[in-house]
A and B are shown apart, each in its own frame.
Chain A
Amino acid sequence: MKQLVIFLVVVFLFIGNQFSSAQNTGSALASIQLNPIALMDIEPNNSSVVLNVSPVTEAGTMNSTSMSNNIKWINFSSSLAPSTPNRTILVGVASGNLPAGVRVKIQTSPYSGTGNGSIGNQTNEITISSTYQTLINNIGAGFTGNGINNGYMIRYVLEISDFRLLDFNNSQTVSVSYILSEI
């Protein structure tokens, strides 16, 4: 009889322990993967820039150049992972050849606009070629603002490099490509 009493006490403690283990907390995980971002475009659009060399109309004068639609703006958005190098915008001739006797320069103005962050430094002037050259460097995490008057204004300028090579029956289409470097 004494053994039976002890057994009942043990069962009672067992039941009590079940109640005391009720769980009153729970959790969920919020996980956010922020990926590096590199996004660039040309504003107001990437329509063709037209550059002309006019023939001489008066003896003793030089040929003149004319340009239309030759101002564009570069906009970009960039983010970086820690300890990764800054980005660069490169420019070069992707296809086509310039007519003999001329060269095309890209003049880049300092940044202006409504952006924020580390948005780089421009190279003031580049003569374009099939070799890609740095137009803007030291781009970190930032954004330029959107549309014209935001970012880096670029101006295409046509120059005559050698009068003797000019051929006024010659017209060429050249495609210029901009690359925002990925990390």
Chain B
Amino acid sequence: MYYPVQAQKLTVTGNWNLSINSSYISDAGVNLATTVLSPTNVTIIDVDVQPRNSYNRQYKSQRVLVQKVDNVWNVGLTLWCKRTITVTNPNITLGTNFQQITNNSLLFFNTVGEQFNIPIQYQLSGLSLLIPANNYSTTILYTLLDN
């Protein structure tokens, strides 16, 4: 029987689960804090190369796009992402400032060669008491393309 071995080029690990309650209000009479940040490494991205030869592992130029696919969402909420810089790496460029994740795929960052353990942070904006209490979720989809 034939079992294909799937070569992983892009690996995304880690979800952001957030629970908003009264602790996000500074005092009675005030609205919710409008912006909430995730941990700085809530999602980790590994960018591999194919074919995985020594040249590509060092020099292949690729780009990562990001978009969201809403499951249950509210138009008042906006989601943002950025790449957290832990060590300066000249082989990863762009993506270090928060950019809004939209329902259309947009360039997030570029890579040269294989790049593992790229930490990603999210920001949720637009929180308000006027948004109905509910469970909201969206799938953040990353796509790796060759440059």
Cα A78 to Cα B133 in complex, Å, equals 10
Stretch with Cβ within 8 A of A (4 or more), from B19-27, B88-96, B107-115: B19-27
Say how far A152's CB is from chain B's closest CB, in angstroms.
11
Q: Does B37 contact A (CB under 8 A)?
A: no
Contact between chains at B20 and A33 (CB < 8 Å): yes
- Contacts A29-B140, A30-B137 known; A146 to B28 CB distance under 8 Å? yes
Contact between chains at A25 and B134 (CB < 8 Å): no
Inter-chain pairs besides A21-B7, A31-B136, A79-B129, 16 sampled, C-beta below 8 Å: A14-B2, A23-B7, A28-B139, A29-B17, A32-B20, A33-B20, A37-B129, A39-B22, A75-B29, A77-B29, A77-B30, A81-B132, A141-B129, A141-B131, A144-B29, A146-B28
- Contacts A18-B5, A34-B134, A37-B22 known; A24 to B15 CB distance under 8 Å? no
Q: Does A173 contact B (CB under 8 A)?
A: no
User: When each residue 39-55 of chain A gets 1 if its CB lies under 8 Å from chain B and 0 otherwise, what string results?
Assistant: 11101000000000000
Contact between chains at A115 and B29 (CB < 8 Å): yes
Contact between chains at A32 and B137 (CB < 8 Å): yes
Instruction: Considering the complex, give the chain A residue whose CB is closest to the CB of B4.
Output: A21
Contact between chains at B5 and A77 (CB < 8 Å): no
What chain A residues lie within 8 Å of B10 (beta carbons)? 23-26
Identify the 10 closest CB pairs spanning chains A and B, nearest first: A26-B12, A75-B29, A146-B29, A41-B28, A79-B129, A29-B15, A81-B133, A22-B7, A36-B133, A24-B144
Contact between chains at B129 and A31 (CB < 8 Å): no
Say how far A36's CB is from chain B's closest CB, in angstroms.
4
Cα A24 to Cα B79 in complex, Å, equals 22
Say how far B48's CB is from chain A's closest CB, in angstroms.
8
User: When each residue 104-143 of chain A gets 1 if its CB lies under 8 Å from chain B and 0 otherwise, what string results?
Assistant: 0000000001011100000000000000000000000111
Q: Would you call the interface of chain A mostly helix, strand, loop, or mixed?
A: strand
Contact between chains at B140 and A34 (CB < 8 Å): no
What chain B residues lie within 8 Å of A81 (beta carbons)? 132-134
Contact between chains at A18 and B21 (CB < 8 Å): no
Number of B interface residues in the complex (CB < 8 A): 56
10 examples of A-B residue contacts, CB within 8 angstroms: A21-B7, A22-B50, A23-B9, A27-B140, A28-B13, A28-B120, A32-B18, A34-B131, A142-B130, A146-B30
Q: Does A151 contact B (CB under 8 A)?
A: yes
Contact between chains at B136 and A25 (CB < 8 Å): no
Cα A44 to Cα B17 in complex, Å, equals 37
Contact between chains at A34 and B7 (CB < 8 Å): no
Contact between chains at A30 and B122 (CB < 8 Å): yes
Q: Does B35 contact A (CB under 8 A)?
A: no
Say how far B121's CB is from chain A's closest CB, in angstroms.
12
User: Which of A21, A35, A76, A141 sits near B29, CB closer than 8 Å?
Assistant: A76
What chain A residues lie within 8 Å of B124 (beta carbons)? 30, 32
Q: Does B102 contact A (CB under 8 A)?
A: no
Q: Does B141 contact A (CB under 8 A)?
A: yes
What chain B residues lie within 8 Å of A82 (beta carbons)? 132-134
